[in-house]
Chains A and B, each alone.
Chain A
Amino acid sequence: MKPLHFLDPYLPQLKICSACGLCLFSCPVFGVTGLETDGPRGRLMLLRAFAAGKIAPAMIVEALARCLLCGRCESACPSQIPLERIFFAARFALADQLPVSRRRRFLARLLSSWPGALDFLQPPVRFLTDYLGYKMGRKKVFLPAFQPFARRSAEKAGGVLLFSGCLTRRIFPRVGTAALKALGLSGLTVLTPPELVCCGRPLAAQGDRKGLLKALRTNLRVIAALEFDWLTSPCPACLRTMLEIWPEMEGLSGTEREQLNKLQDRIIDPYILLARYLPSAAAPEGRIYWQRPCLLDDVACQSALRLLGSLPEQKEPPVCCGAPLQCLDLKPAPADSPKLALRKAGAPSLAVGLADLLRSLTGSAEYIVTACPGCMLALEQHITVPVRHLVEILALRSPRP
């Protein structure tokens, strides 16, 4: 058995790990189950054995699929092993073994190749769910009321390109509207080209390299035709994908690679921009629980917290919402399985285990503030406390006199 070539560039890095275990503390999945195979160290050990041809891929697929790809372990690793990239590469290498249903794969591809199709599909699905009482079995169906946020074209060259991301565009259009407003309040010109497709993160999580490359190419083509100073998004997952996964992609032409390199320097978190330009205001009232998105980096997080005002001290590291689990079809572990948190008897799945933890932390809060539509989706599914995106709060500020 030979290791698949996606892992080849990382083979020396796999060997560096001294198994010190400092990554364990940062891993949200290990935090719930406490199992070695649910921590970055265990996953890396399994990958190391797989790369050496010692074990069959089936042995590591589950451990790999339970990784949330949040990248916290990478920032915690003192040996600076690019863990997040290694786990993505492993998913590419084991794409055909990952538990992804056809329906989910189809939806991810649709979002990245023909997102307009969903605009047509939305009214009938809405009709089915609302008027015929058809239950989708979840609190939130994937296609909510169709209310695309206002598209504003650039009045002059320059300004900010707002990459809305699928979740903002399809499920939380209010976040997109608020982002437009907050950037507008800051005096910035905003571009929101409707031709942009999915950033490709769900495809990467499903190991679909071809689909990801296609999405990247489409986006690059659209972006290259525009003039702007910064590219930003209310979704940190989109930004992280652009910064970390896009440059790793092979198969781009010379021009495309050049366009991508040019783009990299202009990608910025919205909170860094807003902290610079948004008029200041008093901190919002009420007891807030700040759900730090795993994919929001430290600098952006500091800016976000500055914008939000003073907050009570919270547990570090924060608990992940579990949204990335929705990219795959993980089977819930049976009730007597060690895969469950041993002390959290009754939690039917990892997502519920994470939600239980979050519920215990957010109990006394009046509302939860986060900076990621993915977190919003997962939190709304499991928690009754209202959830708001940070840009929604910032959009309420009064304009500069």
Chain B
Amino acid sequence: VPLSALLDRRSSPLRGREAAGIPSPAVAAQGTPNAELAQLLSQTARGDRAAFEMLYVHTAPKLFGVLARILGRGDHANAVLEDVYMRIWQEAGTFNPEIGPPITWMAALARNRALDAIARGRLERRIADGPEALDLPIEGDAGSDQEQKERRHLLAGLKGLEPERRRVLLRAYYYGLSREEIALEADRSAASVKPWLRSVLAQLKGCLSQ
């Protein structure tokens, strides 16, 4: 499923893979089975350094992709990636497979660290200008069956939103935009963006529960 199908196209000075900081296809290839990642997490929780290293090799590009979109590629994203893996080393035992796939848990952990860093206002970042930055092929067939199923479900829910709402929501998520930045994206006043944003999120929740 191309993500571009969910996004309105707009003209932008930034185009293509280079502008978006997109890696080569070889790097993009991911998809370690959940059971293997869960096993590596379990071994990591017991202090197995080799398993932890293997876990890094399998997952670091995915987590770095999450961080680099929010923080930009550079020292900040590098430092946060180190921090994230030290947390994974320390917190691997808290992973609960009932909540979701291992990579989703790790990505959420990474994303939260990046958002905390942004929220503290210590980071300057460059947000790619234009939806082409998200004009990427979603890896529809990558990952486990569970991941693919959840991804298809979410994409179906997103299709239930109006195109402009969907575009702004996706950019807000991938770049960790603040309300002020979302107001600019959505061409709304700062005062009206909070109720608008919450209505978008409530609508998405409704679409997903159908």
Answer yes or no: do A and B interact. Answer: no
Binding site for B on A (CB under 8 A): none
